[in-house]
Amino acid sequence: MLKYEIEGGNLPVVICYPEENQTIRTESGAMSWMSPNMEMNTNTGGGIKKMLGRMFSGESLFMNEYTARGGAGMIAFASSFPGSIIPYEVTPGNAIIVQKRGFLAMEGNLELSLYLHKKLGRGFFGGEGFIMQKIEGDGIVFLEIDGYCKEYNLEAGQSIIVDTGYLAAMTEGCTMEIETIKGAKNIFLGGEGLFHTRIQGPGKVYIQSMPVINTARQLSPYIHISSEDGSHKGININFD
């Protein structure tokens, strides 16, 4: 079992302590610091098909493997956005489905693949809930959650409705359905868009309180890019 600790509060980092010859896999550029005996190997993470799947899910094309050599090692992975790092123990038949950009790091014997919503038409219009990632195998994976993470355990037939982008992860026993919001008044005046996502159990659901894409939309009216002669010169933030 991989030894680790999560520190940092709302600006979290997971520090892992792999045993000799134990491997941790992560997306390209996710490592923050490590001991000198951690050996790095960059690869496609399972071939061209899986590499392209990661591209569509918002991850980097290549994966990095870090292996402790000559004794136990230490390696840290920090969150790229204020929020939470959640450990999840994957077992055979108990995979987890994760939002794009939600994968941070995992033990080397786990596999990451593309997960698409079954109804492609609604999935495309449903936005963030369409393309996700599936992590399966046997080991620990660390998930990067935007903001606070709320967990719900759903019984068989029990469901919860989540706004687009707030679903961070769900166990593979859950099913996801993208639904159209009913009523023209609700669609045009409610400010919730055209779709929401219904998650049905049995299984566990992880909901994030501050999706990074929503934060970017809130900040965009205050950010202005200044330029001269059509070339980028700087970014101005207006708080008026």
Domain presence at residue 239: no
199-233: b (≥16 Cβ within 10 Å) or e:
bbbebbbbbbebbbebeeeeeeeeeeeeeeeeeee
Quote the domain boundaries for residue 102: 3-218
Q: How far apart are CA 16 and CA 73, in angstroms?
A: 8
SS3 167: strand
* Phi, psi (degrees; rounded to nearest 5) at 95: -75, 170
> Do 197 and 174 form a contact (C-beta atoms < 8 A)?
no
Domain presence at residue 227: no
**Per-residue confidence (pLDDT) for residue 174, from 0 to 100:** 94
| pLDDT tens per residue across all 240 residues of the chain | 899 999 999 999 999 999 999 999 998 788 999 999 999 999 866 555 555 555 554 556 678 999 999 999 999 999 988 999 999 999 998 999 998 889 999 998 899 888 876 554 444 444 444 678 999 999 999 999 999 999 999 999 999 999 878 999 999 999 988 877 664 444 444 445 567 789 999 999 999 998 887 777 677 776 665 555 555 555 555 545
**Per-residue confidence (pLDDT) for residue 52, from 0 to 100:** 57
**Per-residue confidence (pLDDT) for residue 40, from 0 to 100:** 96
First to last CA, the chain: 52
Domain presence at residue 237: no
Domain presence at residue 205: yes
Domain presence at residue 225: no
Looking at the structure of the chain, the number of domains it has is 1
**Per-residue confidence (pLDDT) for residue 110, from 0 to 100:** 93
**Which H/E stretch holds residue 187?**
helix 184-189
* pTM over the 0.75 mark: yes
CATH code: domain of residue 83: 3.60.160.10
Domain presence at residue 85: yes
Domain presence at residue 226: no
Torsion of CA 68, 70, 72, 75, to 10 degrees: -40
Domain presence at residue 173: yes
